Chains A and B, each alone.
Chain A
Amino acid sequence: MLSKKTYDRLGETVYQTTLTNGLKVLMVPKAGFHKTFAIMTTDYGAMDNEFVPRGQTASVRFPDGIAHFLEHKLFEKKDHDAFDLFGKYGASANAFTGFTQTSYLFATTSHLKENLEILLDFVQDPYFTAATVNKEKGIIGQEIQMYDDDPGWQSYFGMIGHLYPKEPLHIDIAGTVDSIDKITADDLYAAYNTFYHPSNMNLIIVGQLDPEETLAWITANQDAKTFAPNESITRIPSAQAQPADIVPTTTRHLTLTRPKVNIGLRGFDEVPAGRDGLTYSVAVSLMFDLLFNDTGDNYLRLYDANVIDDSFGYDFQVQRGAHFAQLAGDTDQPEQFASELTAILKDAPAQLAAAKLQFDLVKREAIGRIVGAINSVEGIANQYDGPLFDGATIFDELAILEQLTFDELLTAAKAFLDQSQATVYTILP
């Protein structure tokens, strides 16, 4: 029932199983650790705002921000707040909503069984009323406004909005003050019933734990509940922007001391399915290291010319239905920042060929980064992308990275860059 995969050199073991109700459970015991971290995730996020509600036949377009709203409201029950239940045991609980997932988590150093039951019970027992939904609108309204004052947030989401002008990604994950005002308790139930079925969720537990005992607790909890039969979910794909729809440059003004530039690069190529997708993701990330990290010539040249400084950073991410890179930083020379970095990207094939000798170096660095993440229970759990990469864990990612060749990197880099489209998003004082 419980499958076991060991990673000998790392001294780590992953236990996993899928319960009869469809819930996928994955456990990683960590010897010597005091803490246990558990995170329960549904494959549902801000992107999924049009779908066929479970039990119905027609699709419905829901107000923007509904996934995030649901996340907030799931904690509140008729006579208590689930948050307080964790508090009784001193555990810290939290939740977050992304474009393609919503997660509920806790960390504890005692009473794992009780905390797990609280997590499973509050996630699996929704309670939404008109009164509680309306009260939440004030709190989330404040949250949205807080991000209005955060130039870093504005820069990142401004960039994403221009990469995905027709997709739901162009709207804040939390929605807008107007859109959340339209959300009703019935909407929340429709979304909940569709996406919070155990078969659309996974539960990862890492840290101080006994796998057999922990699974027995979870199984007993789940067996005592009744779930609707598992049905496939019909998401209605949003409109898709074409490369020509992406505005090359945008400038806006905010009060801040230094200009911020964020260059987004959207991939229009197809990410390979399953584990190959992870290899692709690792390879493209390393490509950015080769082109832009501080071991390279580009970085030093631009740093010495004051085009970039210590605030410069970049990343590449793959999510369900979207993959993109960002290169961002504060700079007093926003135009040079954009033109220099864009020129490097255009010249990438030649640049990469010239940087071949640095491949082992950036690979070593990436290996070190992953080994460092394995030190933390959160690092292990958060690296799990569920169905996206066919259940690969951080340990699988390390193995993929160690085996990656320079040619594989070039192939992935070409696939991504050849069909990518850039947007430059600048915020000026």
Chain B
Amino acid sequence: MRLLINLAIAIAIAVIVGFGSAALVLDRERMFGAVTRGAWTAWPDTGSADADPYTAAMLARTGEVPLGAGEGLAFSADADDQGSRLNGGCTYRITGQTPPARLWTLTVYDGDGHLMENPAQRTVFHSREVLRHENGSFTIAVSRSAQPGNWLPVTTEDRFRLILRLYDTPLAGGATIGAIVVPAIERVGCP
């Protein structure tokens, strides 16, 4: 009888610890190989054959297709430079320069990772259409209300995510990513 109770305890612990920890790890952001610069994080190993088993499991679960190392590198941001979560109720200014790349796109997704329908029909800016200052830098406003200049609309009042994709960049393909310039994400206000 005691043996049965002990066995039941052991199996219950095994199941809870095993499946629970696996689910916990996969629901969080990828743990290994993250490169963070400013508010932006990239996972350069994701697009290579060296991706770790956790990354492979996470990709299989979400169905995402990563950018290959020979294609480019994607940086994502869920928070501003101060570390506060990006929130659709606020207005943000993304300013500065991007790391070197032949082409880049900046896309905004809602908290579930979907593009947002909006009257301006804009979900993305790319490097060749963005209006620039005289010194080559740019400012993109992210907000619910229309803004002059480059305006990337959000329609959620909840969290959202920005993804900066660098195509044909020297950062992809195994080189160590040192000090690079990334655009600043500054909260202007929360009306």
Partners in one complex: no
Binding site for B on A (CB under 8 A): none
